[in-house]
Amino acid sequence: MPIARLAVAQALLEMSRVHPDVLAAIAADAASIRGHQSDPTVDDPLGSPTDAVQGNGAGAGDELDADFLVMHALRIKGFAAADVVADIVGIEVAVVHLLLSEMAQSEWCRHIPARDLWQLTPAGRERHGERLQEVSGAAVDGLRAHYLRFLDLNVGFKELCSRWQMRDGDANDHTDAVYDEARVAELRTLHDQSLAPIAGFTEAIARFGSYERRLTTSLLRLEGGETRMFTGVMCGSYHDIWMELHEDLVQLLGVDRHAEGSY
């Protein structure tokens, strides 16, 4: 497997997708493995991609492996760059590049060069659905225990986003600082209220802790004057990340959005 990843990394390098230092590190690891192939007790120094998950732990409640997490991130986002996938799942971006390339070889995802985005293929979506069934029931139950509270907050969040975007029936041009500051203050309150259910989700599946970090970062940037961090599209806005969190929950819980009426 390390030799195969070396070949993938070489291909990525030729497309300027991987820094030469990354290739050198992989090559060194592959050489080390070749030197120890006679000893079955020697661990792969590259580690599995799962070992590159940053701070997610492999304990009870975490679901599956890095391959699934990358696939799951694409399912949540629809289209995503490798660095966005890495941010969502907490895996180093160089490893994400390798996993995406391996998935593309299996025809589970495709690369869109014009915007450097990745997308699941129909076969990939089917594979994702199959692997969802492997998520532990205890983890799903742990999410479900806090989901209704999230839905309550989601209603308020959607209404708040509308008040941020519109004012008195017209588009908000963001020239009234007092009005905007009041909406940002409301978001801060909602954010603080969301921390408890997110903590509950994180207790069930550790990687959900990344949502608290990412939402907090977007809010701080908004409070610092970056107005697009409220409802901007494909820029890591609070709305972007909140919708990812909702879709993540919908996928893992098997929720029918139409029947539930939550969008």
User: Does 117 score more than 90 pLDDT?
Assistant: yes
Question: Can you give the pLDDT at residue 7?
Answer: 47
Cα 182 to Cα 190: distance, rounded to the nearest angstrom: 13
Question: Can you give the pLDDT at residue 2?
Answer: 44
pLDDT bucket at 86, cuts 50 / 70 / 90:
very high
User: Does 47 score more than 50 pLDDT?
Assistant: no
Q: Count CB neighbours of 42 within 10 A.
A: 12
The structural domains of the chain, with segments of one domain joined by +, span 1-47, 53-135, 137-260
Higher per-residue confidence, 98 vs 41? 98
Q: Extract the tokens encoding 229.
A: 């961090």
**pTM of the full structure:** 0.76
Task: With beta carbons less than 8 A apart as the criterion, state whether 153 and 194 touch.
Answer: yes
pLDDT tens sequence across 6-28 = 444 444 444 444 444 544 544 44
Q: Is 15 helix (H, G, I), strand (E, B) or coil?
A: coil
Cα 88 to Cα 66: distance, rounded to the nearest angstrom: 12
Question: Can you give the pLDDT at residue 261?
Answer: 76
CA 112 to chain centre: 19
Q: Extract the tokens encoding 102.
A: 């391996």
Place of tokens 């120890």: 36
Task: With beta carbons less than 8 A apart as the criterion, state whether 246 and 262 touch.
Answer: yes
Cα 201 to Cα 209: distance, rounded to the nearest angstrom: 8
Which of these CATH numbers, 1.10.10.10, 3.40.718.10, 1.20.1300.10, 3.40.50.300, describes 53-135? 1.10.10.10
pLDDT bucket at 257, cuts 50 / 70 / 90:
confident
Cα 89 to Cα 208: distance, rounded to the nearest angstrom: 9
Burial of 174 (0-12, 13-18, 19+ CB in 10 A): middle
Count the helices and strands in the chain (H runs, E runs): 12, 4
Question: Can you give the pLDDT at residue 145?
Answer: 95
| Residue 240 C-beta-side C-alpha neighbours within 13 Å | 21
Angle between helices 238-253 and 177-204 (to 10 degrees): 30
pLDDT bucket at 30, cuts 50 / 70 / 90:
very low
170-171 and 166-167 beta bridge pairing: antiparallel
User: What helix, strand, coil percent values describe the chain, rounded to 5?
Assistant: 65, 5, 25
Percent above pLDDT 90 for the chain: 67
36-40, 117-121, 202-206, 216-220, range with the lowest pLDDT: 36-40
Cα 104 to Cα 102: distance, rounded to the nearest angstrom: 5
User: Does 44 score more than 60 pLDDT?
Assistant: no
User: Does 36 score more than 50 pLDDT?
Assistant: no
